[in-house]
Amino acid sequence: MFRKQECVAMLLAGGQGSRLYALTRRIAKPAVPFGGKYRIIDFPLSNCVNSGIETVGVLTQYQPLELNDYIGSGQPWDLDRMDAGVHVLPPYQRNKGADWYKGTANAIYQNIDFIQRYDPEYVLVLSGDHIYKMDYSDMLAQHKANNADCTIAVLDVPKEEASRFGILNTNPDGSIYEFDEKPAVPKSTLASMGIYIFTWEKLRKYLIADEEDTTSQNDFGKNLLPAMLNAGERMFAYRFEGYWKDVGTIDSLWEANMDLLNPKVPLDLSDPTWKIYSRNPGMPPQYLAPTAMVQNSSITEGCNIYGKVESSVIFAGVTVEEGAEIIDSILMPGTVVRRGAKVQYAILAENVEIDEGACVGESPEECTDLSRWGVAVVASGLRVGKGAFVSAQAMVEDNVADDEEVGAHA
Amino acid sequence: MRNYNALGLIFPNMYDEAVRDCTAIRSMGSLPFGGRYRLIDFVLSNMVNAGITKVGVITKSNYQSLMDHLGSGKAWDLSRKHEGLYFLPPRSSDDAKYQGRISSLADVVAFLKRSKEELVILSDCHMVSSMDYRAMLKAHVESGADVTVACRRGVVPALADIPVLTLDAASRVTDMLIGRISEDEAVYGVGTYVMRKDWLLRTVTEAVARNLLHFERDILQRHLNEMHICGYEVPSLVMPIYSLESYFNANLALLDADIRAQLFPKSRPVYTKLRDCDPVQYGLHAQVTNSLVADGAHIDGIVTNCIVFRGVNISRDAVLENCVVMQDVTVGDHCKLGCIVADKNAVFRSGSRLQGSESYPVYIAKNAIV
């Protein structure tokens, strides 16, 4: 017997994150390191715990190994509970055959039994590619007050950006009358954040109906939500105020990391009342040598810094040797930058080695043609040889030989 | 795979009086060290890294902070279904009874009897070291000694009861002096012992019956000739903490890459309680050199040769040199601090100026406001 839960969270973590290219070659997007000592999934998981949600199902499919290891028993998030906690839910075989998760709605559909054993009133559906701090209990309170069937969290975005998002058009009471996916001429500026609360009874009914519809792509945004709206269910927008960023692209991932260095950006990771938890390697404190020059940066445990670090985010166990320069860059765990190497406007994934005198990335000022400027990326475990040059916008997926030049990503 | 069937016993209160300032509110074992650790972390990690899965922590007094730190033992992987961490506080609050290691051990006789382990490794917390306890257990078994005493050759730390040993060619202890203060180099005990559990039980029971209280003096020293006591020279770095000055110096010694490599070898991680701090934030005006900084610190000042613990806040234009700054200390703008040991939560208001000297660091108490 499982204890009844008022609200169960389902976290969609199976997507490939193909727009992160080299960074998601071997790991699922939610497992991508973020902000010095976190991974993207730490944000929704910590939000759940801080909001008082005790049961979280994590739906995995693409490259789940590292994500599974990372979640483990759920202990870092206090989600190793007796009869609740975090559960990793990959697709599985049943007596009438097996299916991959066909779409976001189908992933939840395949886990109806998991949800049902907690007999919840509500289900919270989250995605694993956003950076934000949000109290879901406040959203649930509004859902209940509205006697809603579905509540969708929305962010008021600048008008000129609205056409990049799924826009919700609402009545004055906050009820939704229309979905507008990436509208050329937006009628409102309320963008869906991909965070939904459903009344479980209703959601279950629509999941079953959606599954029976052979023409459906089994997707929340494309199929299930429009079906609910067409049927006249009570659907409301929940206005979120605060920092929220989709980190699904190289540029947005880089920007969101840089936002952490900006005191004006309202994402405070040091707030003791809303901690973001993560699984830590437990390394000794970082050491800054007499030759170190570190400014406007975020650096975590186990690092040894002998060179210059400016406006950068440095993860655990990174070594920056004397005379090396790191500017406006993100260095993921275990990366080493040797003497005289220069890294700027770049993302170096885990355990990369940049050998002596190599240059990775370019500043916009150095780029003669600004249209080919962009963040350079080096995939995990690679070596960039001595004196090699990796241009702006490059996407390095193989070792770079000494003195080799790598151009921009097509 | 278990190599040696050993039980760990830790004495976090031994030598509490040595760093009196810092241990007024805590035990020696819970003394913060090296940015994010407490002294007991090194001993506990040594045990865990040697495959020991049952550890008893024998406390005497002032152990609230220690209990808070250890919790269930999860951080050391000692929250286990089979064995794990045992907290062994005194049976009664009658202070006079708890005078030495023997009376503490007499209190845990039942725990020892219940334990199935064959060997016992006892350790105090005042020597900071990453020791390979497996090697010591191996040496003990091979020598056939009754007791093996971990020791170190060097200038003898000025500790009241420190045993100074004379070893013969076979490492057998032929003489033991206790409490001899001298500036000469000698072989001294570092507060870690290995023995058979049944030997320990028998010896403790007998000592209690004769009202003998002092393990080193009344058991080891007195029976040097009848017993086979061996010295085991610790091959790795050992940093004795016996005064505020030695505490200060041992912290600052971590600024040496070679010392850090010896204290934090890759093969033997040092575990500690996690705090889920954010990464260190260096501001636009930060100038931090030759310093060890733990997560959760926010620094915008000028910091040289310092050990900065978790959650410390150092404002713009503050200047710190040769300081040990414990957890959650706040240093306001334009402060100038040199050779300070600032205990937890201390606050230095803007413009404070304090200067100790390298041989006499100034201690600022926990929660103090300067």
Q: Does the pLDDT value for residue B113 go beyond 50?
A: yes
Among B213, B232, B263, give the residue marking a domain's end. Answer: B263
> Do B119 and B233 reside in the same domain of the chain?
yes
CA distance B281 to chain A (A): 5
Identify all chain B residues contacting A294, using CB atoms and an 8 Å cutoff. Answer: 282, 286, 288
Domain membership flag for residue B270? no
Establish if B256 belongs to a structural domain: yes
Minimum CA–CA partner of B36 in chain A: A285
Nearest residue, CB atoms, B293 vs list A283, A288, A295? A288
Residues B256 and B349 placed together within one structural domain of the fold: no
Domain that holds residue B115: 6-263
Q: Is the Cβ pair A285, B289 closer than 8 Å?
A: no
> What is residue B94's predicted lDDT score, i.e. its pLDDT?
62
Query: Which residues on chain B are in Cβ contact (under 8 Å) with A275?
Result: 276
With a threshold of 0.90, does the pTM exceed it?
Answer: yes
Q: Give me the pLDDT at residue B93, please.
A: 62
Contact criterion met (CB below 8 Å) for B350 and B330: no
Residue B325's contacts (CB-CB under 8 Å, 6 or more residues apart) are B306, B307, B308, B309, B312, B314, B331, B340, B342
* CA separation for the pair B26, A367 (Å, rounded): 58
pLDDT of residue B57: 96
Number of domains making up chain B? 2
Looking at the predicted structure, is the pLDDT value of residue B97 above 50?
no
Are B50 and B162 members of one domain? yes
The percentage of residues in chain B with a pLDDT greater than 90, rounded to a whole number, is: 80
ipTM, two decimals, is: 0.92
Q: How close is the nearest chain B Cα to the Cα of A206, in Å?
A: 40
Cβ-Cβ pairs closer than 8 A, A with B, add up to 102
Residues in B lying within 8 Å of A, measured between beta carbons: 34-36, 74-75, 255, 257, 260, 264, 269-272, 274, 276-296, 298, 307-308
Q: What percent of chain B has pLDDT over 70?
A: 97
Statement to judge: residues B101 and B30 lie in one domain: yes
| Mutate: best of A270, A310, A327, A330, partner B, most B CBs <10 A | A270
Q: Tell which residue, A165, A164, A134, has the closest CA to residue A43.
A: A134
Give the nearest partner residue to B280 out of A282, A293, A298, using CB atoms.
Answer: A298
A264 touches chain B (CB under 8 A): no
Q: List, for residues B47-60, the tens digit of each pLDDT value.
A: 999 999 999 999 98
CB contact under 8 A, A284 and B271: no
Chain A residues touching B292 at Cβ < 8 A: 284-287
Task: Confirm whether B306 is domain-assigned.
Answer: yes
Are residues B284 and A284, on separate chains, in Cβ contact within 8 Å? no
| Comparison of pLDDT for A407 and B327, the residue scoring more | B327
Residue B276 lies in a domain: no
Interchain CB distance below 8 Å, A288 and B288? yes
Q: State the smallest CA–CA distance between residue A380 and chain B in angstroms.
A: 21
In a shared domain, residues B258 and B298: no
- Are residue B41 and residue B82 in the same domain, yes or no? yes
Mean pLDDT across B201-213: 91
Residue-level pLDDT at B54: 95
Nearest-CA residue of chain A relative to B269? Answer: A283
Q: In this structure, are strands B37-38 and B32-33 parallel, antiparallel, or unpaired?
A: antiparallel
Minimal CA separation from B226 to chain A, in Å: 45
Q: Is residue B272 part of a domain?
A: no
Q: Are residues B14 and B78 in the same domain?
A: yes
**Whether residues B30 and B57 fall in one domain:** yes
The CATH number of the domain holding residue B216 is 3.90.550.10
Q: Give the residue-averaged pLDDT of B271-279.
A: 93
Nearest CB neighbour to A286, from listed B283, B290, B293: B293
For chain A, positions 169-208, list CB contacts with chain B under 8 A: none
B99 domain-assigned: yes
Stronger pLDDT, A126 or B23, i.e. the higher one: A126
Backbone dihedral angles phi then psi of residue B332, each to the nearest 5 degrees = -75, 175
> Could you tell me which residues come within 8 angstroms of residue A344 by beta carbon, excluding any fewer than 6 positions away?
A325, A326, A327, A328, A329, A360, A361, A362, A363
Q: Check B74 against A75: CB less than 8 A apart.
A: yes
The pLDDT-based confidence of B242 (bands split at 50, 70, 90) is very high
Task: Name which of A35, A277, A287 is nearest B276 (Cβ-Cβ).
Answer: A277
Closest Cα in chain B, distance from residue A312 (Å): 10
What CATH number does residue B329 fall under?
Answer: 2.160.10.10
What is the three-state SS of chain B? CCCCCEEEEEECCCCHHHHHHHHCCCCHHHCEECCCEEHHHHHHHHHHHCCCCEEEEECCCCCHHHHHHHCCCHHHCCECCCCEEEEECCCCCCHHHCCCHHHHHHHCHHHHHHCCCCEEEEEECCEEECCCHHHHHHHHHHHCCCEEEEEEEEECCCCCCCEEEEECCCCEEEEEEECCCCCCEEEEEEEEEEEEHHHHHHHHHHHHHCCCCCHHHHHHHCCCCCCCEEEEECCCCEEECCCHHHHHHHHHHCCCHHHHHHHCCCCCCCCCCCCCCCCEEECCCCEEECEEECCCCEECCEEECCEECCCCEECCCCEEECCEECCCCEECCCCEEECEEECCCCEECCCCEEECECCECEEECCCCEC
Q: Report chain B residues whose CB lies below 8 A from the CB of A283.
A: 264, 269
Q: Taking the CA of residue A287 as centre, how many other CA atoms within 13 Å lie in the half-sphere pointing to its CB?
A: 25
Q: Are residues B293 and B243 in the same domain?
A: no
Q: What is the pLDDT of residue B80?
A: 86
CA distance A346 to chain B (A): 20
Tell which of B230, B263, B296 closes a domain: B263
> Which chain B residues are Cβ-neighbours of A76 within 8 angstroms?
274, 276
The pLDDT confidence band at residue B100, using thresholds 50, 70 and 90, is confident
Segments of chain A with pLDDT less than 70: 1, 410
What was the pLDDT predicted at A82? 85
Residues B57 and B177 in one domain: yes
Same domain, B195 and B330: no
pLDDT at B46 over 80: yes
For residue B275, is it within any domain?
no
Q: Which residue has the tokens 């490259």?
A: A63
Position B358 in a domain: yes
* Residue after which a domain boundary falls, among B205, B229, B263: B263
Residue that the structure tokens 């050491």 belong to: A287
Specify whether B201 is located in the same domain as B295. Answer: no
Q: Which of residues 274-293 of A touch B (CB under 8 A)?
A: 275-278, 280, 282-293
